[in-house]
Structure 1
Amino acid sequence: MKAIVNNKIVNLHAKPDTTSELIDEVLYGMVVDVLEFCDESWVRIQTTYRYEGYCLKEKLLIDEEKSLKWQEEAKNVIIQNFSDILAGPKIQSTKIATLVKGSFVTIVEDSELDQEWAKVKLASGEVGYTRSYWVRQTISERVSEEEFRENVVQTALSYLTTPYRWGGKSPLGIDCSGLCSMAYMLNGVLIYRDAKIVEGFPIKQIEFDQIQKGDLLYFPGHIAMYMGDGLYVHSSLGGNEVSINSLNENHPHYRKDLATSITAVGSLFAKELVH
Structure 2
Amino acid sequence: MDRRTTPFSGRVAHVSLRDLVAAPLTEGEPARVVVPLADLRAAPDGARDRQLLMGEAVTVIDRDRGHAFVISEKDGYCGWLAESTLGDGPEPTHWVMAPATHLYEAPSVQAREMVSLSLGSRVAVKGAWGAWASTDFGYVPVAHLHPVGQWAPDPVLVAESLLGTPYLWGGNSRFGIDCSGLVQVALYAAGMACPGDSDMQMAMGRGLGAEEQPKRGDLVFWKGHVALVVNQDLLIHANGHTMSVSYEGIREAVARISANGGGLVQARQRV
| Aligned match for 1:56, one of 79, 82, 86 | 82
Match of 1:9 in 2: 37
Match of 1:272 in 2: none
- Correspondences of 1:1-275 after superposition (within 5 Å): 1-17=29-45, 20-37=46-63, 39-47=64-72, 48-61=74-87, 63=88, 70-71=90-91, 74-110=92-128, 113-114=129-130, 117-122=131-136, 126=137, 128-139=138-149, 148=153, 151-197=154-200, 203-208=205-210, 209=212, 211-248=214-251, 254-258=253-257, 261-268=264-271
Secondary structure of the structure 1 residue equivalent to 2:228: strand
What TM-score do the two structures reach when normalised by structure 2?
0.79
Distance 1:239 1:35, change over 3 A: same
**Equivalent-residue separation in structure 2 for 1:118 and 1:189 (angstroms):** 28
Match of 1:271 in 2: none
On the 8 A contact 1:86/1:130 being kept in 2, the answer is yes
Distance 1:198 1:234, change over 3 A: closer
The letter for the 1-side match of 2:145 is: V
Moved more, 76-85 or 44-53: 76-85
**Equivalent-residue separation in structure 2 for 1:236 and 1:79 (angstroms):** 23
Any unmatched runs of 5+ in structure 2? 1-28
Identity %: 24
Distance 1:135 1:43, change over 3 A: same
Deviation of 1:120 (Å) = 2.8
What TM-score do the two structures reach when normalised by structure 1?
0.78
Q: Cα RMSD (Å) of the superposition?
A: 2.3
On the 8 A contact 2:254/2:265 being kept in 1, the answer is no
Secondary structure of the structure 2 residue equivalent to 1:212: coil
The letter for the 1-side match of 2:208 is: I
Deviation of 1:84 (Å) = 1.9
Size of the aligned set, in residue pairs, is 237
Write out per-residue CA displacement over residues 168-207 of structure 1, whole angstroms, 9 at most, x where no aligned residue.
01111100000000001111112111112469x7533232
The letter for the 2-side match of 1:95 is: E
Any unmatched runs of 5+ in structure 1? 269-275
